[in-house]
Every structure is written in C-alpha cells, then in structure tokens.
Structure 1
Amino acid sequence: MTDVPPFAQASRHVRAVAYPHVLVLIDYRTGHVQCLLPKAATHWQEAARSGRLTAMPPPLATHMIRTGALSPAQEPTPWNGPLPAPAPAASWGGAEHPAGLTRVTGPFSATAAVALATTWSIMRTGRKNRAMNRIITALRASTSTAGRPATPAEASEAVLAVRRTAWQAPVRTACLEESAAATFLLAPRRLSVAWCHGIAADPVRLHAWVQTVDGGLVAEPPSTRAYTPALTIGACHQHRL
C-alpha cells in the first residue's frame, strides 16, 4: 500500500449526498458514482471537517485519492459536508412511472430532433468517461444566455417534443439525454429552465429532469420529488463545478 498523505481536499467536481444509511458521491467530471456505508461515511465527514486524511483508514483514504474524490493537499483544507437527504420511504426496489406516447404538434416539434442529435453528439464525441462533464459544460453555456424563464406550458411542450422524438429514434435516450435535449431545445428561444440531477435511495438511483423557475416539475410524475438534487443548472440555482 502506498503512503497516504496527511492532508487532502475534495474535488470540486464531486457532490456528496448523505442518507441515514449511505453516503453517495457523484463525480460530475467522469460520471463515476460510489456509495459509502455508515462507517466509511463517518470517516468521510470527519475528514471533511478537519481536512486531514488521518481521519480515514488508510485503505479508504487511498481509494478516495485513486478515484479522484480527494486529492493531496499541502495543509489541512476542510471541505463542505455532504448535502443531507431524508430517509427514503420503503419502495421495495421499485416505483411507478406513467409511460406512453404523447402526440406533440407544438412549436418545438420540428426542432426536437436537432436538440437530441446535439445531445448525442456531445456525449459521444470525446472520451467516454468525460461525457457527463461535457454535457454539464454545454448545459451551463446554453442557460447562460436565457432572456426569460420558460412558462410551465413552454417547458412541458419542449420536454414532450423531445420525448416523442426519442421514441422514434434508434439511439438510446434515457432521462439524462432527454432532459439535456429539452434544455437545449429552449435555449435558441432564450427560454430558461432548471436542469436537475439528483439521487434517491432504496435502492440508490440517479435521475435527471427539468424544473420551472419556481421549482415545478415538468412532465414528471410526483415520485420525482423523492430525488434530492445534487446539481442544478439554470433558472433556479447555479452550483458551480
């Protein structure tokens, strides 16, 4: 085992969300996710308060540095503690989400394919382990020039247009691609929404979605409220990486 440096600092690309039973770390540069059980989570939080790697067992400290969650520092550099999240209600590993095709003929239907193609291109052009970082950079750029917030109707039309187009596409489209494409679709009209990426537990799972400026869900089921936002870009908040 290599020697562990005495001090460390947290990567600015990493977000930590703490549930009572697990601490989830998301690296928004690489998209890497790791979960720390309560004992390891306690060590993480002790190190966050002190900036000292001696608060962690050497194997855990070595792993945190190797994965990029922490980096060596010349002096104690405490970092922010994790975002607290409420204990999840028992879901028995599943949740219901409405699904199905929706006919969309609104103002965004003609350009939804372009927004999806843009999203796929961003994710697939370059190193695979930096796809998440590229999407975040593009989302931040697209929302920075917004003239006004999108209305709930405009935001919903954009999401549904993307969703309808994605059903016809031969390329995989999950919540990340769908929510990013909806944000890109609104950007040329200088309409802003909040793009959110969050975590839920029982089991630990990730989701990306779109909200209006007042925090209203856009074309999402109420179960999306079970996700704690780890990163929000756009109209509501701006967490810098």
Structure 2
Amino acid sequence: MQRSVDFGHVQVVIDYANGRVRCLIPAEPGPTTAPTASWGSAEHPAGLTVPGGAWCPAAAAALAAVLVIKAAGNRGTAMKRLIGTIRNAASATTRPATREQATASVHAVRRAAWYSPARTGCLEESAAVALLLAMRRRSVIWCHGVAPDPVRLHAWIMTHDGTAAAEPPSTSAYTPVLTIGEHRDTF
C-alpha cells in the first residue's frame, strides 16, 4: 500500500500499511541529506483560543473512536486501521454533505479536540470529521497529501464539489496522495 509523489528535487514515498514516510532525493554529486517529513501544518494556532462552533457530543464520540482505533493494536499498523475505518464509514453514506455541513462538522470536531487529552492533529481531526458525517449518512472526500519545501504531510476533508472544508488557502499547495470517499478511491 505504498504511494509516492515526485517533486523533482525529492520523491516522497508513503507506506499506508505502516505509516512510514521516506524522502528520496535524486542522485547528485556530493553528499546530501533527504529532508524529514513533518506530519503537521503550522497554520492552525494550537492552544491559543477555544475553537468556534457548537459543542457536539457526536463529534466527541467520533474523535474518541478515532483515538481508540489508533491506540488499539500494533502501533505500526495504526494508519492502516484508520484508513480502513474511513473507507468503511464512506461506504455507509447515502448523500453528499453540503459545504455548510462539512464546515460545521470540522468546527465541532476541533471544539471537541480542544478538550482531548490526546494529540489531535490534522489526521485525527479529518478522520473524526469523516466518521461524524458518516454517522449522519453524509459523505465527504477524505484527503491525505504532501507538499514540498519542506516536505510536509496534511489530511483534510473536501466536499464533493472540490471545496476544502474549513481549511486555509495554503491547503492547495498539497498534492493529494490518497483520497477516500469519491466514487472510486484513488489508491
């Protein structure tokens, strides 16, 4: 279950079975070091203010489910379990979520994550949003992508019309590597 993106100066290889990321650089004269990948983005000010949006017990339950799925079992297969869960949730949906529903769900999960004692980054947040909407039989597209310089990974939710839900404009710098929830998953 490996996917890769070649940016010319670096090829990023993501193994979705174990969550490992490798950065390969083309052969060049002289020694060089492959950059390390970052699993997060610096655009969301963590811990400064309580996120907006209404408190939603279902959002807290979806986030708790994601955290349990990641923590249960072998740590090396957490990403595989999470992807399987998102894929199963997407298969149970009946109608696309609107932009407003997707945005409200992102805000509700961010609000629940504010009170979570566990790490909640874009991966956990986007997976919880996908589960929350699936509980309501609404579908979105879960995206996992990579951006170069520096190499960084990001996960986000997109509506079926291609709108990223509650994301900064810089999300467009990420090249989707894996999407789940479209008519056909790109994997």
TM-score, L = length of structure 1: 0.68
1:16 counterpart SS class = strand
- 2:113 is equivalent to residue 125 of structure 1: no
1:211 matched residue in structure 2: 158
1:166 matched residue in structure 2: 113
Shift of 1:168: 1.2
Shift of 1:141: 0.3
Deviations 1:188-207 (A, max 9, x none): 11100000000001111100
- AA at the equivalent of 2:43: H
- 2:54 is equivalent to residue 105 of structure 1: yes
Conservation of the 8 A alpha-carbon contact between 1:115 and 1:184? yes
The structure 2 residue matched to 1:39, chosen from 23, 27, 38, is: 27
In structure 1, stretches of 5+ residues that fail to align are 1-12, 41-94
Cα distance between partner residues in 1 of 2:163 and 2:184:
13
Q: Rate the CA distance shift 1:30–1:98 in 2: closer, same or farther, 3 A.
A: closer
1:38 counterpart SS class = coil
1:226 matched residue in structure 2: 173
Q: Rate the CA distance shift 1:236–1:163 in 2: closer, same or farther, 3 A.
A: farther
Deviations 1:120-157 (A, max 9, x none): 01001010000000000000000012111000000011
Aligned length: 172
Q: Rate the CA distance shift 1:98–1:25 in 2: closer, same or farther, 3 A.
A: closer
The structure 2 residue matched to 1:25, chosen from 6, 10, 13, is: 13
Q: Please list every run of at least 4 consecutive aligned residues from structure 1 whose deviation after the TM superposition is greater than 3 angstroms.
A: none
| Identity over aligned pairs, percent | 49
Deviations 1:196-227 (A, max 9, x none): 00000111110000000011010100001100
2:61 matched residue in structure 1: 114
1:39 counterpart SS class = coil
Looking at CA atoms only, which structure, 1 or 2, has the larger radius of gyration?
A: 1
In structure 2, stretches of 5+ residues that fail to align are 29-40
1:186 matched residue in structure 2: 133
- AA at the equivalent of 2:19: G
RMSD: 1.6
2:123 counterpart SS class = helix
Higher relative contact order (CA 8 A, sep 6+): 2
Cα distance between partner residues in 2 of 1:146 and 1:227:
26
Shift of 1:96: 6.2
Shift of 1:239: 2.0
Matches within 5 A, 1:49-198: 97-99=43-45, 100-105=49-54, 109-198=56-145
1:30 counterpart SS class = coil
2:62 counterpart SS class = helix
